[in-house]
Chains A and B, each alone.
Chain A
Amino acid sequence: MTTSELTLPQTRKRSRRVMGAGKQLHAGPVTYLVLAVFALISLAPLVWTAIAASRTDRRLAETPPPLWFGGNLFKNMQTAWDEAGLGTAMLNSVIVAGAITISTVLFSTLAGFAFAKLQFRFSGFLLLLTIGTMMIPPQLAVVPLYLWMADLGWSNQLQTVILPTLVTAFGTFFMRQYLVQALPSELIEAARVDGASSLRVVWHVVFPAARPAMAVLGLLTFVFAWNDFLWPIIALNQQNPTVQVALNSLGTGYVPDQAVIMAGALLGTLPLLIAFILFGKQIVGGIMQGAIKG
């Protein structure tokens, strides 16, 4: 299963013997068959995107649709890259998602630590408030944000997209759940007794203890920020798009070439797919841990 580094502590105490009750049952051939069907459904659209991207537009309109690769992949990618301005878009997405990830991880760890381990007035209420805000749909903020950013002269600039997402309630809660168990209170006490200031405690005790969870939160945040759609499409125009905005203009624009559109879709997803191949295990672990609520 997951490595010990990634096994976040659970909020409920349970022994290893109890864990994974169903695991004692071996999977039979039927299980593998059904799983294979699910896997096929998961992967087929992506594989077919690559097939379609390697063909010509005319070939895609024919029946039957192509089931194997053609020779136009790089030509189509080149066209999509130029037509949708994917170079700028990729760079923008890297900047936006990178900034959001760094700031979310940092601030979530600080706030999560305070909620997990420090005593202060109203902490219970404030934590509840944090969790409650996850219910607020992003649609409720976009009109004022749009007006303010226009006022500041920030329309179509990247900070418009970055600023509102610098922190997330999910991240704060996620780090809190992790640190409640992963960070022994005695460690903090000991540092305190040594006269360490809060900043020293954070630097020398909290960050090292939180590192595995910070990595997972970082990956989840990056995926989320890279794929975010609603606010970027309102805040940015096609001159300065993120990848998602560029893909939207490719799909809704008047580029009639479907093979080129597929090549664009493939390019826009490629960075995340690579990250997924490299860190898929960690992302899976992170989602499973985030699911367990205290």
Chain B
Amino acid sequence: MTSPKQALAHPASSAEAAPGSQPGAARGAHGGGTPPKGPSPWRSKLYRWDMKASPYVFIAPFFVIFGAFSLVPLLYTAWYSLHDVQLSSLDTQTWAGLDNYQNLLSSDFFWNALKNTFTIGVISTVPQLMAAIGLAHLLNYRLRGSTMWRVVMLTPYATSVAAATLVFTLLYSWDGGMVNWLLDFVGIDPINWRESDWGSQFAVSSIVIWRWTGYNALIYLAAMQAIPADLYESAAIDGANRWQQFIHVTVPQLRPTILFTVVISTIGATQLFGEPLLFGGVSGSKGGSEHQYQTLGLYMYDQGWIIGNLGKASAIAWSMFLILLIIAAINLLVTRRLRKSQ
């Protein structure tokens, strides 16, 4: 069938190769053939070695760099979380056992940060994904200038956290701020967006919603375009109107994508950092004068690099990871449930 050299070199698929053909002119042929080069033993050895080793060489940079700068640090962070490490004296790291964790669990600020992360996460993720799904539905119609609409909806994504937050901070400012000025028009008293509890959390969430809704809409749009048309046709024959088609065809078909975006947004929400940091201005790392919007990400930065307790910061980082793992586990359970109930 094929020459021994080829068979050795690529046993799984040598039958598909068309020997002697040029790249680009390949056809799936089953004919026999002669090896292209003379059978020189060291050459074929080299060739075989190349075939075996090259996949590993190609993936090596990824795993080496990723391992060195993400996976190994992950373990070191666990190690540091069991030590007393101070920013002021980096060289002395003394064993602390679970002190850092106990310290966290008994700290009001930790629970406050956890609660804020959860609240801000919910009020930014839920409206964001709902708006995104509606927006995707509209973008899925036959539109004039459809690319233009998509690009416009994605523009906030190209704006950095820093720039976006600086702008929103000014929009939400107490006097002279655009938002309070607009509220005044409809007869609502000005709101102190920076100081009030829910006001500041709403403001921070709105920055997240603004930046990410268009991005998620595009993800939904891609999934919507993969829904087979006959599903809609048969729904239409059954007398479903557009709204019923959306609820009974589109949304169920999008379920895997919705789960995907929920997971991604949850990860993002757990790590929320830049928006509250900049929204707070000078008292940024505290999350406002009363810690109203101090998230776990901010709390870690504050404890590690403002207060200088890197051991505690490591413990906070690991707590965040554990929380994510729990969320992922719940997600998996819910997904299974949903699948079974189908």
CB of B42 closer than 8 Å to a CB of A: no
A216–B35 CA distance with the chains assembled, in angstroms: 39
Residue of B nearest to A127 (CB): B59
Q: A27-B143, A61-B176 are in contact. Are A288 and B222 (CB under 8 A)?
A: yes
Q: Which of A21, A166, A230 sits near B231, CB closer than 8 Å?
A: A21
Closest CB in chain B relative to A164 CB, distance in Å: 4
What number of B residues sit within 8 Å (CB to CB) of A? 133
- B257 in the interface, Cβ–Cβ < 8 Å? yes
Cross-chain contact A48 with B158 (CB below 8 angstroms): no
* Complexed CA–CA distance, A90 and B152 (Å): 25
Q: Does A78 contact B (CB under 8 A)?
A: no
> Does B181 make an interface contact (CB < 8 A)?
yes
Q: Which of B106-114, B119-127, B212-220 contacts A (4 or more CB under 8 A)?
A: B212-220
Q: Is the CB of A280 within 8 A of B62?
A: no
User: Is there contact, CB below 8 Å, between B218 and A123?
Assistant: no
The interface size of chain A toward B, counting residues with CB under 8 Å, comes to 125
Neighbour of A111 across the interface among B50, B59, B139, CB < 8 A: B59
Q: Is there an interface contact between A144 and B76, defined as CB atoms closer than 8 Å? A: yes
Q: Give chain B residues whose Cβ lies under 8 Å from the Cβ of A120.
A: 52, 55-56
Main secondary structure of the interface of A (DSSP, over half): helix
Q: Could you tell me which B residues sit within 8 Å of A by CB distance?
A: 6, 9-10, 12-14, 16-28, 33, 36-37, 47, 50-52, 54-59, 61-63, 65-66, 69-74, 76-77, 80, 85, 90, 135, 137-144, 146-147, 149-171, 175-178, 181, 210, 214-215, 218-219, 221-232, 242, 250, 257, 260, 267, 270-271, 273-274, 277-278, 281-282, 284, 297, 300-301, 304-305, 310, 313-314, 316-318, 320-321, 324, 328
Known: A205-B23, A264-B166. 18 other contacts (CB 8 A): A21-B229, A22-B232, A24-B142, A63-B175, A120-B56, A143-B317, A144-B72, A145-B73, A147-B85, A166-B69, A186-B27, A190-B21, A193-B17, A230-B274, A261-B166, A265-B162, A284-B151, A291-B257
Contact sample, A vs B, 15 pairs, CB 8 Å cutoff: A24-B142, A45-B159, A114-B54, A135-B324, A140-B321, A147-B310, A164-B65, A186-B28, A190-B24, A198-B58, A243-B162, A269-B160, A280-B154, A280-B155, A293-B260
